[in-house]
Amino acid sequence: MQKLALIGLGASGLFALKELAGADVEVHVFDVGPTYEKRYACPIDQGKLTVCPPKACSYCAPGQSAGSWNDFKVILSASPVIGGRLYDLVGEAELQKRLDMVRATILQHAPCEIPVVKPNAEDLEWIKKKATMASMTYHYQELLHCGSDNAPAINTSILNEIKSKGSNIVFHFDKKVVSVARRNEKFAVRSDRYRKPEEEVEDIFDLCIVSVGRGGAAWLTQQEFYKALDINPGQVDIGIRVETSAFFTEEVDRRFYEPKLYYRSRHSNDVVRNFCSNPKGFVTPENHRDYVLVNGHSKMYEKSENNNFAVLVSKTFTRPFKNPQMYSQTIAKIANMLAGGGPLVQRLGDLKAGRRTKSLTNNLIKPTLEAECGDISLAYPHRILESIVEYLDAFDKICPGVAGESTLLYAPECKSYPDSISVNKNMETNVPNLFIIGDSSSWTRGVGQAATSGILAGEGVRQKLKVGMPAASKLVPVS
Ligand SMILES: Cc1cc2nc3c(=O)[nH]c(=O)nc-3n(C[C@H](O)[C@H](O)[C@H](O)COP(=O)(O)OP(=O)(O)OC[C@H]3O[C@@H](n4cnc5c(N)ncnc54)[C@H](O)[C@@H]3O)c2cc1C
């Protein structure tokens, strides 16, 4: 029997594994995290801690499949702009087909009824008119919001079903893959215990699926095969987490949960977008060990009085600059430095007036995250902040009050994506039998498309096993 290494059991790895359960291949799954039953809820959320532990914990760190455990909002629409770029890779119909499979799996394993958020004709008419009047573009999406509280049950139930069908699968939890190197036509995979290393072992595999997420992006660049891949530098999103009253946004929240609204900045021509809305949710820290970002989440049952969402400015760079990830991390570290190690918070009114925020004691909006009051303009480039302020002023035309003086801005909310890797329609790279899926391939940016890329790879492997493993078919170049 052929042997396959699946490295990373996050959103994409889980759905690849689902396709491979019972297939005619011996699958070895490696993940630095513990078994799903042992992955814990955010200790801050549970009131056990007030600040993040010095090491990133398995709840929030992107290396630990954050989105499938944290908020767990799944975009279900095949869109050319939302959730990733698989639309460019496989086209609308093929993408929608796989997203429908993801939807069906999640709903089947949910412990309670989870409504699909789907705007009706009247909602669409309403938002198109409002958005146009505000110089914004609305992008249609349907989504599932599972909530952080339902995430463990759903993921565990999917994995249990895979285990029951997959006598061909061997699990290596708490195991870090140290390196992957080509050995003739095969792959030498070295792994070790994650917590107490020094028991390194090597095994040889015929096929390899890499699904290490954004958290594993730096690791990926260190691997022997990396230089053989066809790659382009990735994109970064520099932004702010906005927290405002849920009263201001209640109409769009009710109609859409999260309307995707894009805006082109007047002064810089940069595209600005909203991302990850959390009506009645909470702002949270996102601990990356050497810097702390902000993020947000919401729950099915426990609610706050606020809404939080990100406003992001996307940047790509041209030669000679090749390290966009370093750029966004440097901005994040400056913001952390000014805040004494964590996130900064500033009132929108203070930012517009060019002064620092000193206290939030009498502020209309009460923060859901304790962050250091300060001045974000000391850390962020003017071009980025100006575009974010323009975006909020435009959004205020749809949700009056959002751009009010008391609205809170948290920084840093920076997202860096791995280099863009050319793959074929089954996520196979130009290195034959090496598949790179999910966010580490840079083709996906959220749970829905990450899971879809896993399904595509699983299908590709099954196809190869059937026809006797020919070399990779035509690659789709990075855009
Ligand atoms: C705080 C936060 C909240 C988010 N919320 C949402 C949301 O609500 N909706 C949404 O669509 N997206 C959300 N996202 C994004 C989402 O998490 C990712 O897009 C998605 O998880 C990508 O899936 P993936 O399989 O590529 O990677 P991941 O899900 O990150 O999985 C990678 C896996 O690889 C393992 N791994 C990494 N390196 C190694 C190694 N060397 N050896 C062994 N194992 C390794 C990790 O332990 C992990 O299990 C959120 C992200 C963050 C950080």
Asked, for residue 117, whether it belongs to a domain, the answer is no
**Strand ranges (DSSP E) for 129-255?**
136-139, 143-145, 169-173, 175-183, 186-193, 201-205, 207-210, 231-232, 236-245
CB of 8 closer than 6 angstroms to any ligand 1 atom: yes
CB of 72 closer than 6 angstroms to any ligand 1 atom: yes
Q: Answer yes or no: do 411 and 453 share one domain.
A: no
Backbone angles phi, psi at 397, to 5 degrees: -75, -25
Tokens 């893959």 sit on residue = 177
Asked, for residue 478, whether it belongs to a domain, the answer is no
Report the pLDDT averaged over residues 446-466: 96
Q: How far is the CA of 83 from the centre of ligand 1 (A)?
A: 13
Q: Annotate 369-409 with DSSP letters as a single string.
A: S--EE--GGGTS-HHHHHHHHHHHHHHTTTSTTTTSTT-EE
Structural contact between residues 395 and 274, judged by C-beta atoms closer than 8 angstroms: yes
pLDDT score at 102: 97
Q: Answer yes or no: do 219 and 298 share one domain.
A: no
CB of 439 closer than 6 angstroms to any ligand 1 atom: yes
Cα within 13 Å of Cα(65), Cβ side: 31
- The whole domain housing 44 covers 3-111+147-232+420-467
Number of CB atoms found within 10 A of residue 115's CB = 9
Q: Answer yes or no: do 246 and 159 share one domain.
A: no
Asked, for residue 11, whether it belongs to a domain, the answer is yes
Q: How far is the CA of 248 from the centre of ligand 1 (A)?
A: 31
Q: Answer yes or no: do 172 and 155 share one domain.
A: yes
Q: How far is the CA of 125 from the centre of ligand 1 (A)?
A: 35
Q: Answer yes or no: do 199 and 264 share one domain.
A: no
CB of 213 closer than 6 angstroms to any ligand 1 atom: yes
Q: How far is the CA of 333 from the centre of ligand 1 (A)?
A: 22
Nearest atom of ligand 1 to the alpha carbon of 175? 43
Q: Answer yes or no: do 155 and 178 share one domain.
A: yes
Q: Answer yes or no: do 308 and 385 share one domain.
A: yes
Nearest atom of ligand 1 to the alpha carbon of 61? 53
Provide the edge-to-edge strand list for the sheet that holds 186-193: 175-183, 186-193, 201-205
Q: How far is the CA of 334 from the centre of ligand 1 (A)?
A: 25
Whose alpha carbon is nearest atom 51 of ligand 1? Answer: 67
Asked, for residue 394, whether it belongs to a domain, the answer is yes
pTM: 0.85
Count: domains in the chain: 2
Nearest atom of ligand 1 to the alpha carbon of 437? 26
Asked, for residue 55, whether it belongs to a domain, the answer is yes
pLDDT score at 65: 59
Nearest atom of ligand 1 to the alpha carbon of 67? 17
Asked, for residue 190, whether it belongs to a domain, the answer is yes
Could you report the per-residue pLDDT of 21-76, keeping only the tens digit for each?
Answer: 999 999 999 998 888 877 766 676 667 776 666 555 655 654 455 667 777 889 99
CB of 273 closer than 6 angstroms to any ligand 1 atom: no
Q: Answer yes or no: do 92 and 181 share one domain.
A: yes
Q: Answer yes or no: do 271 and 401 share one domain.
A: yes
Number of CB atoms found within 10 A of residue 219's CB = 20
Residues 6 or more apart from 466 whose CB is under 8 A from it? Answer: none
pLDDT band per the 50, 70, 90 thresholds, residue 469? low
Q: How far apart are the C-alpha atoms of 410 and 282, rounded to whole Å?
A: 12
Asked, for residue 410, whether it belongs to a domain, the answer is yes
Q: Answer yes or no: do 344 and 434 share one domain.
A: no
- Domain of 100, CATH number, reads 3.50.50.60
For the chain, give the mean pLDDT.
Answer: 91
Could you report the per-residue pLDDT of 313-367, keeping only the tens digit for each?
Answer: 999 888 788 788 889 999 999 999 999 999 999 999 999 999 999 999 999 999 9
pLDDT score at 57: 62
Whose alpha carbon is nearest atom 13 of ligand 1? Answer: 67
Q: Answer yes or no: do 214 and 251 share one domain.
A: no
Asked, for residue 97, whether it belongs to a domain, the answer is yes
Q: Answer yes or no: do 297 and 442 share one domain.
A: no
CB of 52 closer than 6 angstroms to any ligand 1 atom: no
